[in-house]
Structure 1
């Protein structure tokens, strides 16, 4: 049995969802960060649990063909990027396989209709938002950067390859100002000091830059000097604001903002729509890949201009608004009031007049819409990492949309939810992974679900009154047959299946019953097991 500090040779054969390589020692899986599939290496055991262990790469004996020279010196300790040591092609393969594995192992799906992953045009400088925690080093100087893996220890960072160069310039000017002004640094444990975070946003298309200083107080020493130094270092800057956060919390932003110079928002364009972005507003951090994702979602939605589109978990409305011009009506639902207000403002700003936004939990909003008789043709869902509430999926199925477009940020919860959708008679038509965050372990997925035989099922319900029963057939109603089959055989059967079996037995079920108006309509056929159960019921009621 392996134990801590053991050394062993192994080959990396797979990757975890967090981007660590997987090898085996004494039959136990060992997770090793910074390795690649195909690496032959010496691993030191650093922690042993009941069913698996963690290791550290001690020596690389034979490198994987996927390996490349890391372009960031702090990628390991920072923990933000886990794939900077392998090629982008290898990274995309790993992310595609992660989605496939989740759907197969958790969802139990086979023959998954996977489309090629949508890779990013660049692995670097793609983020339009940056949050840098501020703290004191051991020698009492300000440090600013990113938290080390699984800790609140700050890795002092002067550049990050995921963020635009303009953020580096703004951060260096801020560092220089702090030295000159002597403004105090926030101490998390003592809840004292002022400077907590440096928070920056930029518009990829507009070029506008907003710098926000998060502080444990309402005023900074040397505010005029700060404005002067930032404007000199960053001519692109359009706004400098102070965010006041006096709470004992890990939440970065407080509620109150004070503008030190310029305007407190930036503009940017996404899918031909212009958005006004405040420090609090949600906006996709990789605009280019967000457009790729939204375009794929729109393709899957298949809107023609005649549909009602429901956008659940709509946030500030970006996905739904990007499709609104192709829909008859857009309804968005979101639980965060400020996001709903932003969605309404975004709709008005872009002259979208066919949109309505509701504030409420997805489950409650979906139920309210169902109760008021809304039957959307297409539903788009973009839930948080925890996925959908089971009740949300049940209500979506009750609305009977012809298509559901599921945008997911977690393959595991996606697989779980798709399992419930298929149980509700939805079929997986297409799956496309999207690499929104190159270098990191994250992967997004867009899935198209379609309702099985929706039109035929609707016609079954509409034509129930057109039965032309003979006296012999009236011995048992359809509901009585269903109840008998359920009680004796434990099977649920539809009116459609009962009519098919009755026809086989020569019983009249009415001239128009269950006949589609389409010449080439595909009608589901009664399975043999259910046919036998229905035959038994017909004999029981002396109808045959």
Structure 2
């Protein structure tokens, strides 16, 4: 059995989801950062757990054909990029395989209809947002950069190949101002000092730049000097703001903003729509690849202008609004009130008149729409990394959209959720990975799901028969779906037949019969009340 500090020779045969190479020693998997598939190397064991271990590359004996010279000296320590030492073609293969592996191993899927990954036109300078934590070095000077892997230790950084060059100039001017002004540095442990983060945004199309200083206080020493130095270093700058964050928290931004100069927002264009972006607003950090992702999602949605489109987890509305011109109606739902307000403003700013935005979590929003009688033809979901709650998927399936477009930032939770979708009578039609964040371990995925077509039945199921009422009608399935969505429980078709007779609606000879055993179905009061509510909802009584 291997132990800490052991040295062994091995070949890297695969990659982890986090971008470490995988080799084996004494039958145990060892994860080694900074390696590539095909590397023959000497590895030092640094940590041993029950089923796997972590290692460090000690010596590269035979390099992988995928290797290239890293273009960043701190890529390893900072931990942001994990693939700067291999070619982009190799990186895209790894990300494609990561999606495929998750769908096969977690979802249990075979013969996955995978389309080629959408690679980025550039691996460098693609991010339009940067958050740099600020701290004190051992010699008492300000340092600013990125946190080392799994720590709050700052790696002092003067340039980052993921950020635009304009951010480097702004950061250097900020460093120079701090030396001149003597403004204090925030200390996490003591909750003292002022400067916490330097936060920057830029518009790829507009070229506007916003610099935001996050501070443990409402005022900075030498604010006029800071404005002067930033404007001289960055002529493109359109706004400088102070964000006040006095909380003992790891959350970067506080709620209060004060404009020091210019305007507190920037503009940018995405999918022919213009967005006003504040420090708090969500906006895709790689605009070019966001367009590629949204265009693929729109292709999968297959809108013709006649459909109602539901955008769950809509955020500030970017995905839904990019498709609104192709839909009859757009409905967006988001749990964060400020994001909903931003979505409404974005719709108004872009003269989108067929959009409505609801504030609530995905399950509640879907239930509200169901109760209103809305039946979306297409549903787009872009959940957080944890994926969808099982109840959300059940509710989506109950609404019976023709197509569901799932945008995911985590292949593992995507695979788990797709497994439930297929159990809820949806097929996976197409899968496309999208590389939104070159150099890093992250990969996005767009999936098209379609509702299974029921065919080949000879007998007539109660679920397919319509119940006629006063001025409306509904199938058994529609009634069951309505009750499941609103009340969260299932009702037997025999129970519906029983209450149908009780309500004086038309009766068939097999109403109130169980599933083949000839026994009458007992219907509890809560289910009877729910069925009667469904009859009223469909205007049958």
Range class of TM-score, shorter chain: 0.7 to 0.9
Report the CA distance between 1:484 and its aligned residue: 2.7
1:541 aligns with none
Q: TM-score, normalized by length of structure 2?
A: 0.87
The superposition leaves residues 239-261 of structure 1 with CA deviations (integer Å, 9 ceiling, x where unpaired) of: 00000000000000000000000
Q: Distance in 1 between matches of 2:20 and 2:389?
A: 30
**1:323 and 2:323 matched:** yes
1:289 aligns with 289
The superposition leaves residues 149-187 of structure 1 with CA deviations (integer Å, 9 ceiling, x where unpaired) of: 000000000000000000000000000000000000000
Question: What pairs with 1:15-30 in structure 2 (closer than 5 Å)?
Answer: 15-30=15-30
Contact 2:210–2:265 under 8 Å retained in 1: yes
Q: Distance in 2 between matches of 1:340 and 1:78?
A: 35
Report the secondary structure of 1:387's partner residue: coil
Q: Distance in 1 between matches of 2:461 and 2:317?
A: 35
1:181 aligns with 181
Report the CA distance between 1:453 and its aligned residue: 1.1
Runs of 4+ in 1 over 3 A off after TM superposition: 454-466
**1:417 and 2:417 matched:** yes
Report the CA distance between 1:465 and its aligned residue: 6.3
1:127 aligns with 127
Contact 2:71–2:84 under 8 Å retained in 1: yes
Q: Which has the larger radius of gyration?
A: 1
Give the alignment partner of residue 480 of structure 1, picking from 493, 503, 513. Answer: 513
1:334 aligns with 334
The superposition leaves residues 293-345 of structure 1 with CA deviations (integer Å, 9 ceiling, x where unpaired) of: 00000000000000000000000000000000000000000000000000000
Contact 2:131–2:197 under 8 Å retained in 1: yes
Report the secondary structure of 2:89's partner residue: helix
Report the secondary structure of 1:31's partner residue: strand
Report the secondary structure of 1:480's partner residue: coil
1:37 aligns with 37
Report the CA distance between 1:485 and its aligned residue: 9.0
Q: Distance in 1 between matches of 2:463 and 2:329?
A: 26
Question: What pairs with 1:46-445 in structure 2 (closer than 5 Å)?
Answer: 46-445=46-445
**Structure 2: gaps of 5 or more residues:** 469-506, 521-541
Report the CA distance between 1:486 and its aligned residue: 11
Report the secondary structure of 2:513's partner residue: helix
Q: Distance in 1 between matches of 2:103 and 2:445?
A: 11
Report the CA distance between 1:369 and its aligned residue: 1.1
Report the CA distance between 1:479 and its aligned residue: 6.1
Distance 1:400 1:43, change over 3 A: same
Q: Distance in 2 between matches of 1:372 and 1:324?
A: 21
Q: Distance in 2 between matches of 1:338 and 1:454?
A: 42
Report the CA distance between 1:482 and its aligned residue: 3.0
Distance 1:354 1:475, change over 3 A: closer
Q: TM-score, normalized by length of structure 1?
A: 0.86
1:538 aligns with none
Report the secondary structure of 1:252's partner residue: coil
1:507 aligns with none
Report the secondary structure of 2:196's partner residue: strand
1:517 aligns with none
Q: CA RMSD in A?
A: 2.0
**Structure 1: gaps of 5 or more residues:** 467-473, 488-544
Contact 1:331–1:356 under 8 Å retained in 2: yes
Q: Distance in 1 between matches of 2:249 and 2:123?
A: 32
Q: Distance in 2 between matches of 1:367 and 1:22?
A: 45
Distance 1:160 1:459, change over 3 A: farther
The superposition leaves residues 97-120 of structure 1 with CA deviations (integer Å, 9 ceiling, x where unpaired) of: 000000000000000000000000
The superposition leaves residues 111-148 of structure 1 with CA deviations (integer Å, 9 ceiling, x where unpaired) of: 00000000000000000000000000000000000000
Report the CA distance between 1:480 and its aligned residue: 2.8
Report the CA distance between 1:14 and its aligned residue: 0.3
Q: How many residues align?
A: 481
Contact 1:400–1:454 under 8 Å retained in 2: no
